Amino acid sequence: MAVSRPDFRSSDFLLAHMRQTMAFYEPVATDPSGGMYHFFLDDGTVYDTRTRHLVSAARFVVTHAMLYQTTGEQRYQAGMLHALGFLRRAFLDPSSGGYAWQIDWHAGRSTVLDPTRHCYGMAFVMLAYAWALRAGVAEARAWLAEAFDTTEAHFWLPGAGLYADEAAPDWTLADYRGQNANMHACEAMIAAFRASGEVRYLARAEQLAQGICQRQGALAQGWPGWIWEHFHADWSIDWDYHRHDKSNVFRPWGFQIGHQTEWAKLLLQLDALAPAPWHLPCAQFLFHAALDKGWDAVHGGIVYGMAPDGSVCDGHKYHWVQAESLAAAAMLALATGDMQYWNWYDRIWVYCWEHFVDHGHGGWFRLLDQANRNHTREKSNAGKVDYHNIGACHDVFQALARA
């Protein structure tokens, strides 16, 4: 049955869709004993009540804070505070300042399953505190500063001007270096500056953006300006890391099409706060390069990964790739006045409306194959919680309000 299409450029639509997406989680996600459940089937059934992941825990704070900040509705404030308290109580190790990557939560008690320290995780902890502060939680200013200082002390590499990626519980660094943690750290720094007004966060966001988009982006032989994911300890490209594990959730192999467009969005957000002449041209390059290689002309939608030879190495369609790309398209449209970006925005939204938005149960499907078929009943496993989809709507909603 065909589904009628709304006006995707309407602020009313974007706000309504944020509410509708969160409504999938509202009746089932809250665990009265602490925090939120993290694993949901398509119909909202919770299929794992005990495993909790740092990224999901932090993202629930962010999505609730976005909706509270946008609507003022107390139910979203209550959800934010519930998720926020759990983040500190269940994941934080006060003695080290580190956060567990994964825990088992049972009978009101937390057992650490994976104590590894991840900069990616710290980026979302900082993002959660920044959004909580923006949503009126005064204590979050100190928590944000605490998390930033911990990240600086243990992950910051002054010589590289970037963050390391992973550490043991005693903060011994692994050799792996990655762009993904730095990208989300940049996102967190932008949010931290918006919430606090402290210029150190904005300065770090610019340094991270330059480090990845300019210096590291110049290293990909044959693909200048494209952002590769994985690097050796000296920040030289590691072309083979996870070569045979391209679907690894946090460290997939290949050029990630969605990360090119996500960086485009972040550069425009950064430019709105601290303009620099390189931001817009770089954002335009990343967006056009990604859509030129990543748009599936046969089935629609944007594929996941491209190999260094230019071929599609993973043709699956992931929810977050579409969401980040439509947000980037809207922000480029507003920044340039060029209608081609609104045309891309509408095209991506039409595709998502027809294939990713679950008009029956709510929320977005997580993963489709290249022909847009859903092979899993898992709507949200660890990390998803529709953060990218709600966030994309919020980003466009706010950008329209500022235009």
- In the chain the domains, ranked by start, together with CATH numbers, are 14-402 (1.50.10.10)
Cα–Cα distance for residue pair 236/332, rounded to 1 Å: 31
* DSSP β-ladder status, 312-314 and 305-306: antiparallel
Strand, coil or helix: what is 140? helix
Which pLDDT belongs to residue 246?
66
164: number of Cβ within 10 Å: 22
Cα–Cα distance for residue pair 11/169, rounded to 1 Å: 44
Tell me whether residue 106 is one of the annotated catalytic residues.
no
64, 279, 388, 394: the active-site residue: 388
Tell me whether residue 259 is one of the annotated catalytic residues.
yes
Strand, coil or helix: what is 291? helix
Q: Which residue has the tokens 């969005």?
A: 265
* Ranges of the chain with pLDDT below 50: 1
Phi, psi (rounded to 5 degrees) for 109: -125, 145
Q: Could you read off the pLDDT of 259-270 as tens digits, one per residue?
A: 999 999 999 999
38, 259, 279, 394: the active-site residue: 259
